[in-house]
């Protein structure tokens, strides 16, 4: 099998998670990394045995021996760097969210169609929530009609107090910077929950959105150290889709509440509640790997009685994989991406499209909050404004991003 050579732009916290996945893929080799923080970059390269380190992303992209580039930087740098990767004629895999505004995400999608797709180059977004037995089973049940007419879904993401860079002090303050992050909870964590539901429900067509965003919880001036917290900690929304489907969204980094309930999907014949199963004591490499998996409970009526069925997603995973060994390529982002690039699976999840639709509803929540009224899908297209970085001062010079 052909070796796929990878370059990584950005050596922060998320890059370490990506590397843990790369180390499990036999035909993938990370050969170069780039970061404007040279001390962090050098330590990262030493840790993972990566020989070539760059402080200028253009030098990495100029190499003709790199097949795919992994973009692991903050939200508002996703568009400029991903588009640069596409223009350089390489596969591009970008960390979530696709961008911090819908128009920037759309620009990335259009750049893929213009520069990459005609050359057979792929563009993907990291959305780990798509790669699980929970997602596969829920999607299959809806496609089989087991829920009947699906008309209501709820997307829930909750932290009582977990604002990155503030409460979670091991993370960069850039997480709450308008310049680099652009947005907070809705774009940072919301993509996992909203995207999962949209994918399961077949990427419905958005009609309109109402919403509100808040930043209300006390902030430690000592931890802020003179900086400003510039993004939302709570986003609330209600979206209407074609076919009568409705979706409500609650995504919090900080909220004075202990339990807020689970994500669910409701249909005319039954409903699915998404929950976290306890970790199963299985060794590394087996389904679950000792980590908690997403579970499902199916609620319906049988013989006139309400019934509640635990679908035992995690427990049944080993049987599913035994019957269909190829499912190992659908258990994790990077395994899926590189299995497709290597020709081991015939198609991949369209994460670029899923992320774009997620950005549209998320942007709609912000626009609705700003305007104080419901906004249509067409208005989101018209009113979304770019937040992407176009000029960046670094210790190694000024980067002017052209896109």
Give the pLDDT confidence score for residue 278 in this predicted structure.
57
Angle between helices 102-111 and 78-87 (to 10 degrees): 10
Condensed to tens digits (0 to 9), the pLDDT of residues 44-96 reads 999 999 999 999 999 999 999 999 999 999 999 999 999 999 999 999 999 99
The structural domains of the chain, with segments of one domain joined by +, span 4-128+388-400, 129-331
Cis ω before 373 (30° cut-off from 0): no
| pLDDT at residue 182 is higher than 50 | yes
| pLDDT at residue 9 is higher than 60 | yes
What does the block give as tokens for 18? 């990506």
Query: Do 198 and 354 form a contact (C-beta atoms < 8 A)?
Result: yes
| pLDDT at residue 280 is higher than 50 | no
Give the pLDDT confidence score for residue 318 in this predicted structure.
87
Q: For the residues 352-357, what does the mean pLDDT come to?
A: 98
CATH 3.40.50.720 fits 4-128+388-400, yes or no: yes
What does the block give as tokens for 314? 């995690």
Report the topology of domain 129-331. Answer: Dihydrodipicolinate Reductase; domain 2 (3.30.360)
Condensed to tens digits (0 to 9), the pLDDT of residues 12-55 reads 999 999 999 999 999 999 999 999 999 999 999 999 999 999 99
What does the block give as tokens for 134? 């929970």
> Could you tell me the pTM of the whole model?
0.94
């Amino acid at each position: 099998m052909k070796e796929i050579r990878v370059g990584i732009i950005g050596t922060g916290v998320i890059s370490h998670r990506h590397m843990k996945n790369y180390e499990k893929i036999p035909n993938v080799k990370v050969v170069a990394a780039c970061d404007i923080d040279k001390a962090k970059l050098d330590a990262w390269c030493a840790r993972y045995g990566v020989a070539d380190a760059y402080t200028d992303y253009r030098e990495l992209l100029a190499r003709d021996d790199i097949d795919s580039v992994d973009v692991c930087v903050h939200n508002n740098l996703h568009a400029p760097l991903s588009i640069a990767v596409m223009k350089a004629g390489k596969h591009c895999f970008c960390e979530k969210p696709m961008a911090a505004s819908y128009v920037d995400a759309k620009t990335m999608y259009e750049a893929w169609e213009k520069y990459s797709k005609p050359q057979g180059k792929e563009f993907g977004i990291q959305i780990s929530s798509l790669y699980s037995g929970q997602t596969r089973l829920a999607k299959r049940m809806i496609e089989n009609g087991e829920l009947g007419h699906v008309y209501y879904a709820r997307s829930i993401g909750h932290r009582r107090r977990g604002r990155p860079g503030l409460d979670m002090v091991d993370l960069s303050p850039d997480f709450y910077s308008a310049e680099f992050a652009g947005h907070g909870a809705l774009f940072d964590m919301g993509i996992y929950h909203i995207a999962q539901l949209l994918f399961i429900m077949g990427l419905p067509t958005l009609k309109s959105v109402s919403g509100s965003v808040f930043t209300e919880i006390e902030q430690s001036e000592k931890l802020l150290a003179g900086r400003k917290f510039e993004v939302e900690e709570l986003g609330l929304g209600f979206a209407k889709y074609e076919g009568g489907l409705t979706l409500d969204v609650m995504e919090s980094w900080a909220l004075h509440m202990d339990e807020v309930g689970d994500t669910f999907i409701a249909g005319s014949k039954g409903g699915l509640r998404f929950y976290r199963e306890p970790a199963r004591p299985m060794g590394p490499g087996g389904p679950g790997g000792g980590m908690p998996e997403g579970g499902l409970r199916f609620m319906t009526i049988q013989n006139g009685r309400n019934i509640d069925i635990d679908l035992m997603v995690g427990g049944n995973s080993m049987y599913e994989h035994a019957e269909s060994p190829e499912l190992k390529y659908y258990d994790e982002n990077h395994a899926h991406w590189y299995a497709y690039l290597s020709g081991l699976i015939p198609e991949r999840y369209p994460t670029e499209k899923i992320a774009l639709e997620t950005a549209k509803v998320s942007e709609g929540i912000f626009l609705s909050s700003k305007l104080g009224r419901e906004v249509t899908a067409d208005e989101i297209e018209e009113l979304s404004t770019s937040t992407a970085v176009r000029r960046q001062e670094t210790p190694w010079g000024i980067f002017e991003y052209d896109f």
